Chains A and B, each alone.
Chain A
Amino acid sequence: MNTIYTVSNNIITSLGFSSNENFEALKKGVSGIKETSDPEITQIPLHVSQVDSERLNNEFSHIGNPADYTRLEQIMILSIDDAIKQTDINPESDETIFIFSSTKGNIDLLERNNLSFGEDRIHLWKLGEIISRFFHSPITPVIISNACVSGLTAITTGAQLLRKRKYKNAIVCGGDIISEFTPSGFQSFKAISPQPCRPFDANRDGITLGEGAGTIILSSEEKHAEESNPIIFRGGANTNDANHISGPSRTGDGLYYAIRNALADANKTDKNIDYISGHGTATPYNDEMESKAISWAELEHVPVNSLKAYWGHTLGAAGIVESIAGIYSIQENCLIKTLGYSEHGVSKRLNIITEYKETTIKNFLKTASGFGGSNAAAYFSQINND
């Protein structure tokens, strides 16, 4: 099987418009979550992480006409554009496939009954078509809508396509925006915290939503990778809890199977993992389930965090932006603290990262879980380690 290199990336969230800007904020412990009473989004005050609209408009106008693209399309196109500019990979080649992940796409058009972009524009296949056309891709893109694990499913699918040598490069981009749809839905479930979320904490009481996009470019060609010790995708897997459509497994079995299968895919037989980037949504059930799965996988000793208190739960982008943060943890040899966590609140003893720490990081495991009982895991490492 050929090697899958992570070549370049971008993150756009409330914390900035590049991966670097975002990761600098994480290192300093800065959160982008703010309270809003915007009536377009919520009927009651809500904590949420939003992309700066003015900056979005300014930055996008350098590469396209903002009037021709929806908010989500602008965020995703900008994210991809920045990631492409860092490489010499050609998006117009038939050897480069685009892979998109989103839970709700242009859902704001439906809510506002906005037909100015045409009736088709609310559909996810159209979102993929618009974005891949912007970059003059000659290939039909792959689109994934797998709830909160969408981003990780997109990365594992991209890697799968490169392993089979069907394509040489995969531009994997995930994104979702905040409109009234998602906050009101999670509010109806009483799943949103009145404060910024507190992953794995004893007093956690729900999620904080976020918007944004993440792009990760994968390639099977060594020439596109960094010269010394590039970070590679080793393996990944997707599973199902088969328990409940809106609640996680009580035992953690589905996520445990995802971790087990991802490590098997990576041919990793030891437990020497330097870091786990958890899902950690801060709902009582999710974090408890995750602790059981990590314990079941005998990884309780591994430093683990959740980044949700920095940029919220970014849904279709989450698996990608959090994987990129993991890549930065390797490149900068540091671990980001779990913002919002103070008192241990899950039944298993996890090694939760409570302070920013500089230490050698050679690999990491990324996990995610979501509605529909979906789970995913992926393992990344430096090429000369593991």
Chain B
Amino acid sequence: MENIISKYCIIQNRKVIVDGETQFEDKDNLEYGKLMKSIYKHYQIKYPKYFKMDNLCKIAFLGSEILMHDKENIKNIDPARVGVILQNTHSTIDTDKKYTNTIKDKSNYFPSPAVFVYTLPNVMIGEICIRHKFQGENACFISKDFNPEFITEHVNELLDEGKMDACITGYADYIDGKYKAIMFLVEKNKENRKDNISFKAKIIKNLIK
């Protein structure tokens, strides 16, 4: 049976689109940090660790929060069988640059562990897992652009082989003030319904047009 998108969320161009509907729009031309914070407030998220996160983790985390909002059924799935598998383009170059600045000047040499810890792109996956105690399949793939063919095939295979029951997946990226998240909550199909959206590359390309 096909796996289905039980919810999707796109954060780009100052908008948050959930299941095709614009739920948030910034008209004040906010800079990235403030824009993310207003999304955080809009969804009434309460998670102080958010404020420690780097720019990449923030957008991936918000995407996952929006996906999980009102998805009570996921809590009934064994968290060891919920995966988090994401794609990204620019790794953590934004934070890498910040970290490099702390070691550039040898007379003012203060490498920061709080910055260094965010210099790995899979840390965004770790943050989502910690939030929901998800312990299933994990992987961070890097590709030049969002590659729905690869991610759908990979995630569908893991679901079909019974290695997980649900997955937060998709794409999250941040560099130089540019950001994009295209994220999906994918589950095994339990009942055939007309409005089911199967997790297929062709369908995703239509959704994000």
Query: Chain A: residues with CB nearer than 8 A to chain B?
Result: 43, 103-105, 107, 110-111, 122-125, 128-129, 140, 142-147, 153, 157, 160, 164, 166, 180-181, 184-189, 237-246, 253-254, 257, 261, 265, 371-374
Interchain nearest-CB distance for B54 vs A (Å):
11
Q: Say yes or no: A187 contacts B120, CB within 8 Å.
A: no
Q: Say yes or no: A143 contacts B143, CB within 8 Å.
A: yes
Q: Say yes or no: A144 contacts B142, CB within 8 Å.
A: yes
Q: Say yes or no: B135 contacts A104, CB within 8 Å.
A: no
Contacts of A243 in B (CB 8 A): 130
Contacts of A371 in B (CB 8 A): 117, 120, 122-123, 126
Question: B197 near A: Cβ within 8 Å?
Answer: no
CB-nearest residue of chain B to A180: B103
CB-nearest residue of chain B to A127: B142
Q: Say yes or no: A145 contacts B100, CB within 8 Å.
A: no
Interchain nearest-CB distance for A124 vs B (Å):
4
Q: Which of B103, B133, B139 contacts A238 (CB 8 A)?
A: B139
B140-154, CB under 8 A of A: which get 1 and which 0? 111110010010011
Q: Say yes or no: B140 contacts A246, CB within 8 Å.
A: no
A124 touching B106 in the complex, CB below 8 Å, given contacts A189-B113, A240-B135: no
A373 touching B109 in the complex, CB below 8 Å, given contacts A146-B140, A181-B99: no
Question: B199 near A: Cβ within 8 Å?
Answer: no
Question: B91 near A: Cβ within 8 Å?
Answer: yes
Q: Say yes or no: A372 contacts B111, CB within 8 Å.
A: no
Alpha-carbon gap, A9 to B200, bound state (A): 35
Q: Say yes or no: B120 contacts A145, CB within 8 Å.
A: yes
Alpha-carbon gap, A146 to B129, bound state (A): 14
CB-nearest residue of chain B to A242: B129
Alpha-carbon gap, A6 to B101, bound state (A): 43
Alpha-carbon gap, A188 to B138, bound state (A): 27
Alpha-carbon gap, A372 to B139, bound state (A): 11
A157 touching B154 in the complex, CB below 8 Å, given contacts A241-B135, A242-B135: yes
Q: Say yes or no: B91 contacts A239, CB within 8 Å.
A: no
B57-79, CB under 8 A of A: which get 1 and which 0? 00000000000000000000001
Interchain nearest-CB distance for A306 vs B (Å):
21
Contacts of A147 in B (CB 8 A): 120, 122-123
Contacts of A144 in B (CB 8 A): 139-142
Give 21 A-B contacts (CB < 8 Å), ordered by A residue. A107-B96, A110-B97, A111-B100, A124-B142, A142-B150, A157-B154, A160-B157, A180-B103, A181-B100, A185-B99, A185-B111, A186-B116, A189-B113, A239-B138, A241-B126, A242-B129, A242-B130, A245-B123, A246-B117, A371-B122, A372-B126
A238 touching B157 in the complex, CB below 8 Å, given contacts A181-B96, A189-B116, A245-B123: no
Contacts of A241 in B (CB 8 A): 126, 129, 135
Contacts of B150 in A (CB 8 A): 142
Alpha-carbon gap, A43 to B120, bound state (A): 23
Q: Say yes or no: B126 contacts A145, CB within 8 Å.
A: no
Given contacts A124-B91, A185-B113, A261-B163, 16 further A-B contacts (CB under 8 A): A105-B91, A110-B93, A125-B144, A140-B144, A144-B139, A160-B158, A181-B99, A181-B100, A238-B138, A239-B80, A239-B138, A242-B79, A242-B132, A242-B133, A257-B80, A374-B122
Alpha-carbon gap, A172 to B143, bound state (A): 16
Contacts of A242 in B (CB 8 A): 79, 126, 129-130, 132-135
Interchain nearest-CB distance for B162 vs A (Å):
9
Contacts of B116 in A (CB 8 A): 184-186, 188-189
Alpha-carbon gap, A242 to B138, bound state (A): 11
Q: Say yes or no: B143 contacts A372, CB within 8 Å.
A: no
Interchain nearest-CB distance for B103 vs A (Å):
5
